[in-house]
Structure 1
Amino acid sequence: MMGWIPVALLAVPLLGALLLLLAPRTFRGVLPAYGLIFSGVTLALSLALLALYDYGGPARMRFELDLPWIPGLGLRLHLGVDGVSLPLIVLTALLTFLCFVYLCWGRARATGGFMSARPRALMFTLLVLEVGMIGTFLALDLLLFFVFFEIVLIPMYFLIGVWGGEGRRAASIKFILYTLLGSVVMLLGLLLVWAQTGTLDIEALTAAHGAGMPRSLQILAFVAIGIGLAVKTPMWPLHTWLPDAHTEAPTVGSVLLAGVLLKMGTYGFARIAIPVLPEGATAVAPWLGAFAVVGIVYGALACLAQRDLKRMIAYSSVGHMGFVLLGFATLTPVGVNGALFANVAHGLITGLLFFLAGAVKERYHTSEMPALGGGMLATMPRLGSMLTFASIASLGLPGLAGFWGEMLALFGAFQPANGLPRGLFLTYMVIGGLGAVLTAAYFLVMLSRVTHGRPRDSAEHHEAPDERPIAVSLAPSDVRGYELAAWTPLVVLILLFGLWPGLLLSLTTPPVQALLGALS
């Protein structure tokens, strides 16, 4: 009955993009409000899903729409929402809206001037990107999932390549080559499932729990699909596109890349790979866990070696996504719930971190930590305090959202699913715990370099060519109004989920138990 809401979630940003394309001059005078309106309506629709969702009902899809798409091939436009996808849909709509708040209120000052370059094209790119991101979480057909999964690549490529930093071209090409290669491998896995089962319907495949597919074929399909998802996640050693993409991307590009695009890969494990191919998941899980814990430790050590703030945050995502993959590898309700919780927490926390990194770079004209000089808490106390808060949230301080997902993933490794080697997963738990300690280390080192210590004289700060020096002084305006508007919702949600994790866990637990039916 409410199947129109998922369609509207896709139609609103798509309409906004098409209007910019078909009537480019009509909206020139209202561009600052244009993106806010369309992304705001999309956010309102996602909140309507949240309000109308049947929390007490059985673990099934809500707001379903199932219409013929390509009848000759048996393809259908099948959309729906459950407790796994709903938090990610709301997260996507929220982060996109906050990016428009950051752009449209701050304009050129917020982003070092890139908003003034091709603003209509930038609006168009972000709206198309939102269509692809939300569509990925709504799709209940394998080919439809793949289509939306791919739609995001082109706008993100242009977002990095057109509005990025000095190395934007190389970073954007690296991004598109890696993700396209992974997508080709994933498509082969999806077609293998289709050829064996005769259906692309995710609900039907999930209900069958691998029935009709021999174990060897499930392993082959899981590996193929998993490689495509792992590139987007990104999993070590398929992560090397990520640091360059984050370093060169504009602030809003980094926020959406870390906050949403990485979640599309991990979401695919929960929605497709594990429930559709349970025997393949059981066979590959020890290997998945091994790559996950290597990524956790590698990401932390790489962060300790970084001098650039944005690059350090990018490498931190490799480690945090390692905890998500470890949770999935346990194949237990506790571990998978932890992975899904960590997914949302990472989107909120790392989105905030990249907003803050962009603000730091806009003020200092560099994100090199030695060049920042330290003492931010003295010169810009509000910005320094916000960076401190986001950092301790990311390192997993109890009471903040970053703690619960990683703790549950490690707890899931303590008692993995039947059929998995417990001794091996206990080893993974210990290594993951070491990675958590290293995470605390690199964030504390970063804070000691950036926020603490004696500040340098403002004349020592790096300045962009052809711009007037920016004196960084103790002033109440160190965090501006539009920045506070964009960051406050993230701070509130980080605190809310940290203090009340049951809000999210009560939403994900019933569908997770249903998805793991053949493994429990």
Structure 2
Amino acid sequence: MSSSFPWLTVLGVVPLVGALLILVLPRRSAALARPIALATSLVALLVGVGAATQFDWGGGEGQFQLTETHAWIPQFGVSYALGVDGIALALILMSLILVPICLLAAWDDVAPGDGRRLQTYMALMLVLETFMIGVFAARDVFLFYVFFEAMLIPVYFLIGMFGGARRQYAAVKFLLFSLAGGLIMLVAVIGLYLQGPRGGDGFLVESLTGLDLGTGTERWLFLGFFIAFAVKAPMWPVHTWLPDAASASRPATATLLVGVLDKVGTYGMIRFCLQLFPEASQWATPVVITLAVISIIYGAIVAIGQDDMLRLIGYTSISHFGFIVLGIFALTTTAGIGSNLYMINHGFTTAALFLFAGMLIKRRGSSRISDFGGWQRVTPVLAGVFFVAGLSGLALPGLNSFVSEFLVMVGTFGKYKVATVIAVVGVVLAALYILLMYQRVMTGPKPDDPEVDGRPVPDLNVREKLVAAPLIALFLILGFFPKPALDLLRPAVTTTLQYVGVTDPAPTQGVAEGSNP
């Protein structure tokens, strides 16, 4: 539905205002950057909750709600057009929850005495939040592209300025891969506009849906969008930037990069590839399903062999994104709902794994798994929450990831039995890479008097417990009571599949013909 109050604009402006306040702080007040950033992110979360209360979770009239449309560059058909369906709203809410958690986790990443760097770090996180909201809320394809590329700027500096030893290499590699995919998509965006009705609203998703593009044109345009989203997702074989970026980033940056930004790739496949190019999506489905299955198995196998904790988590995400893409292109309601819920659950699970791993790395001074061992005897509470995060990562029943992974499998099996059976191997491998990592890091004899800054290693402090508590709570809520999330996602998934023109396969008859049911 439309709203007289510009919820989505306000939602995007709030973090930007916070970033500006931080940047104009005098150097002597630089320590205020942290509480200002955290307070700003919490205000944005409250605005997001307010927007969610105005959203009709039953679907409402039309595809998008909370819509705003203003002429921006009318000569080229570009509008400032915002609006959300259930999928976009869910991803925005996930982002709004993760940002304050990441800011709290990153509290000590930059010392207060390093004034300008601290201000820059916190401001970049808030600017990134604005762009994340914009990319999920954009109803204009060109506006989406602007936010899609703008996100690269804060992420590049967050990695390149504040990351680890290989930060420059990782930042440049991330930028080059993303720019290459973005430029290919730009060509497709322009080509799509030229095929559409043009005019003042020529880039609106609504204006470009249902066009008669012709088979060849539609397939080329689909490929232009899909390649960009596959790089962002990331899928095999255009995934190689992710492990480098994840391992070179601060854990909070890695969380937003993998937990939120990479979802732009899978969200784009749903919003643009399926909706704007339905015939081409069905044409490409066998290849995409194959790539998704390869991503599932490849990411899991390579993760098992990693010694760097952050690289291992990065490779697990390649495997998980394979499940998400598999559910998207299965083109069934159950798999579609599962893949969208998977995006939300993966965001929270990845956040927990990266942030808890970061807490371990800070205490040990190393990210190498082989440098650990016996740490459950040193930090038992941290070991406990890390174990729960790992169980979420391997989709233990009762935790959040199980529901989404189960729905993807069930929804895919009816149409692609062989792909589903192979994907199940990825579930087994997930148990291996999670449990082996935990065993190597946490079990065994207590290490000899580990110290941090000459003092015994502490367990979780109050701030770190505040980071862990909402994530563990979300695992349990989404694991035991996923119905609200499923109700939010279902109308949007159904609408998307209607645009594609597919129906769910008929259920297999379990009763012999001619017998009474």
TM-score (norm. length: structure 2): 0.92
Unaligned runs of 5+ in 2: 504-517
What is the DSSP-based 3-state SS (H/G/I as helix, E as strand, rest coil) of the residue aligned with 2:71? strand
Match of 1:87 in 2: 90
* Alignment partner, residue 456 of structure 2: 471
Deviations 1:115-170 (A, max 9, x none): 76711111221111111111000000000000011111011000000000011110
Out of 432, 436, 450, the residue aligned to residue 445 of structure 1 is 436
Instruction: Give the deviation of 1:30 after TM superposition.
Output: 2.2
CA shift, 1:259, in A, is 1.2
Cα distance between partner residues in 2 of 1:64 and 1:487:
35
| Residue correspondence of structure 1 range 411-430 to structure 2 within 5 A | 411-416=410-415, 425-430=416-421
The separation in 2 between residues aligned to 1:454 and 1:70, in whole angstroms, is: 65
CA distance in 1, matches of 2:468, 2:139: 33
- Aligned twin of 2:508: none
User: What is the rounded CA distance, in whole Å, between the counterparts of 1:114 and 1:235 in structure 2?
Assistant: 41
Contact 1:290–1:428 at 8 Å: present in 2 too? yes
Whole-angstrom distance in 2 between the partners of 1:23 and 1:481 = 27
Who is 1:420 aligned against? none
What pairs with 1:463-502 in structure 2 (closer than 5 Å)?
Answer: 468-472=453-457, 478-502=459-483
Structure 1, unaligned stretches of length 5 or more? 417-424
Aligned 8 A contact 1:114 1:163 in 2? no
Work out whether residues 112 and 362 of structure 1, in 8 Å CA contact, stay in contact via their aligned partners in 2.
no
Q: 1:86 to 1:20 in 2, by over 3 A?
A: same
Question: In the TM superposition, what is the alpha-carbon distance from 1:469 to its structure 2 partner?
Answer: 3.6
CA distance in 2, matches of 1:397, 1:191: 45
Amino acid of the residue matched to residue 360 of structure 1? L
Residue 502 of structure 2 is aligned to residue 519 of structure 1: yes
- Quick one: distance in 1 between partners of 2:99 and 2:427? 29
* Contact 1:394 1:402 (C-alpha < 8 Å) held by counterparts: yes
Q: CA 1:115–1:313 in 2, change beyond 3 Å: closer, same or farther?
A: farther
Alpha-carbon shift at residue 82 of structure 1 (Å): 1.4
Which residue does the alignment assign to 2:398?
399
* Counterpart secondary structure, 2:262: helix
Return the letter of the residue paired with 2:486: L
State the partner residue of 1:279: 279
Q: Secondary structure at the match of 1:165?
A: coil
Within the alignment, does 1:433 sit opposite 2:424 as a pair? yes
Counterpart Cα distance in 2 of 1:494 and 1:115: 36
Structure 1 residues 369 and 165: CA distance shift in structure 2, 3 A: same
Q: Give the aligned residue type for 2:35.
A: A
Report the Cα distance in structure 2 between the residues aligned to 1:281 and 1:470, rounded to whole angstroms.
58
Q: Which amino acid aligns with 1:46?
A: G
User: How far off its partner does 1:415 sit?
Assistant: 2.0
Q: Is the 8 A contact 1:331 1:519 kept in 2?
A: yes
- Normalised by the length of structure 1, the TM-score is 0.91
Alignment partner, residue 36 of structure 1: 38
Counterpart residue number, 2:348: 348
Checking the alignment, whether the CA contact within 8 Å between 1:141 and 1:200 is kept in structure 2 is: yes
Which shows bigger deviation, 30-39 or 378-387? Answer: 30-39
**Structure 1 residue 376: deviation in Å?**
2.1
SS at match of 2:106: helix
Distance in 1 (CA, whole Å) between partners of 2:352 and 2:188 is 35
Q: What's the counterpart of residue 367 of structure 1?
A: 367
**Separation of aligned partners in 2, 1:116 and 1:481:** 24
Contact 1:27–1:34 (8 Å) recurs in 2: no
Q: Give the conservation status (yes or no) of the 8 Å contact 2:167–2:248.
A: yes
CA separation of 1:143 and 1:24: change in aligned 2, threshold 3 A:
farther
Aligned position for 1:204:
207
- Deviations along 1:349-407, one digit per CA (max 9) or x if unpaired, are 001110001100100001111111x2222221100001100001100111111112222
Separation of aligned partners in 1, 2:312 and 2:350: 11
1:103–1:115 Cα contact (<8 Å) kept: no
8 Å contact 2:28–2:115 — kept in the other structure?
A: no
Query: Counterpart amino acid of 1:174?
Result: K
Match of 1:503 among 475, 484, 488: 484
1:227 aligned residue: 227
Cα distance change, pair 458–203 in 1 and its aligned pair in 2 (3 A): farther
- What secondary structure is seen at the aligned counterpart in 1 of 2:66? strand
- Residue aligning to 2:50: 48
1:166 aligned counterpart, secondary structure: coil
User: Post-superposition shift, 1:60?
Assistant: 2.9
Given that 1:327 and 1:335 are in contact with CA atoms closer than 8 Å, whether structure 2 keeps it comes out as yes
Q: Distance in 1 between matches of 2:116 and 2:32?
A: 16
The answer on whether the counterparts of 1:146 and 1:187 sit within 8 Å (CA) in structure 2 is yes
For residues 301 and 115 of structure 1, do their structure 2 counterparts lie closer, same or farther at Cα, with a shift above 3 Å needed? farther
Counterparts of 1:41-80 in structure 2, within 5 Å, are: 41-58=43-60, 60-80=63-83
By how many angstroms is 1:456 displaced? Answer: 1.8
What CA RMSD, in Å, does the superposition of the two structures yield over aligned residues?
Answer: 1.8
Match for 2:73: what amino acid? I
